[in-house]
Amino acid sequence: MRFKTCSYKSINILEKYSFVPISIEANPPKSYTGVTLPELAPLPFLIKGLQNGTISKNLFRMLYIKQLDRCNDMSNLILKLLSYGGKICLVSSGGYNELNHRVILGEWLKRNGCHCKEYGVNKKRRNEEMSGNTDNKTSIHLFPNWDF
Choose the weakest-confidence range: 24-33, 56-65, 96-105, 114-123: 114-123
Average pLDDT over residues 97-112: 86
Average pLDDT over residues 6-27: 89
Over the stretch 3-15, which tens digit does the pLDDT of each residue have? 899 999 888 888 8
Greatest alpha-carbon span in the chain: 42
Q: Is the pLDDT of residue 98 over 50?
A: yes
Q: Which residues pair with 89 in a beta bridge?
A: 4, 21
Whether the CB-CB separation of 10 and 119 falls below 8 Å is answered with yes
CB atoms near residue 44 (< 10 Å): 10
Choose the weakest-confidence range: 13-17, 103-107, 121-125, 137-141: 137-141
Q: Which pLDDT score, from 0 to 100, does residue 61 have?
A: 94
- ∠ CA(47), CA(113), CA(26), 5° rounding? 25
Report the chain's terminal Cα–Cα distance, integer Å.
13
Q: Which pLDDT score, from 0 to 100, does residue 116 have?
A: 87
Which one is predicted more confidently, 72 or 113?
113
CB atoms near residue 54 (< 10 Å): 10
Q: Which pLDDT score, from 0 to 100, does residue 128 have?
A: 52
Q: Which pLDDT score, from 0 to 100, does residue 122 have?
A: 60
Average pLDDT over residues 40-67: 93
Average pLDDT over residues 103-110: 90
Percent of the chain with pLDDT over 90: 33
What does the mean pLDDT of the chain come to?
79
